[in-house]
Amino acid sequence: MYKFLNSFLLIAILYFFVACNQLDIVQNKTDPIMEDRIANDKPIINLGEDKKSLTELILGDRSESLEYGGSITFQTALDKVSFMPLASVDAASGVIITDWYNLDGDDLRIKINIRIYDQEMADGSVNVQMFKQNFDGAKWNDQGNDEMQASKIKKAILDEARVLQATIDLS
What is the per-residue pLDDT for 62?
A: 43
- Domain shared by 56 and 115, yes or no: no
- Examine the domain organization and report whether 54 and 90 are in the same domain: no
CATH of the domain at 107: 3.30.530
Neighbours of 128 (CB within 10 A): 25
What confidence category does residue 92 fall into, taking pLDDT thresholds of 50, 70 and 90? confident
Kindly state whether residues 58 and 83 are assigned to the same domain. Answer: no
Compute the average pLDDT of residues 14-21: 61
| Mean pLDDT to the nearest integer, 10-19 | 66
Name, of 57-61, 91-95, 113-117, the range with top average pLDDT.
Answer: 113-117
Q: Are residues 79 and 128 in the same domain?
A: yes
Question: 153 falls in which pLDDT band (50, 70, 90)?
Answer: very high
pLDDT value for 159: 94
Q: Is residue 11 part of a domain?
A: no
Helix locations, the chain, DSSP H = 2-21, 32-39, 54-59, 72-80, 147-170
Task: Judge whether 151 lies within some domain.
Answer: yes
Query: Does residue 98 contact residue 55 with C-beta atoms inside 8 Å?
Result: no
Kindly state whether residues 45 and 85 are assigned to the same domain: no
Q: Are residues 129 and 46 in the same domain?
A: no
| Residue 51 backbone zone (phi > 0: left; psi -120 to 50: alpha; other: beta) | beta
Cα 96-102-104 angle, rounded to 5 deg: 130
Establish if 139 belongs to a structural domain. yes
CA–centroid distance for 160 within its chain: 23
Q: Is residue 115 part of a domain?
A: yes
> If you ran DSSP here, which 8-state letter would residue 81 be given?
T
How confident is the model over 22-44, as pLDDT tens digits? 555 555 555 565 566 556 655 55
Q: pLDDT (tens digit, 9 = 90+) per residue, 119-138? A: 888 999 999 999 999 988 88
Question: Does one domain contain both 78 and 58?
Answer: no
Distance CA 162, CA 168 (A): 10
Q: Give the predicted TM-score (pTM) of the model.
A: 0.59
Distance of CA 90 to the CA centre of its chain: 3
Assign 60 to helix, strand or coil.
helix
43 plus 70 within the same structural domain:
no
Q: How many domains does the chain have?
A: 2
Is 54 in the same domain as 133? no
The answer on 74 and 57 residing in a single domain is: no
Are 97 and 119 contained in the same domain? yes
- Range of 154's domain? 66-170
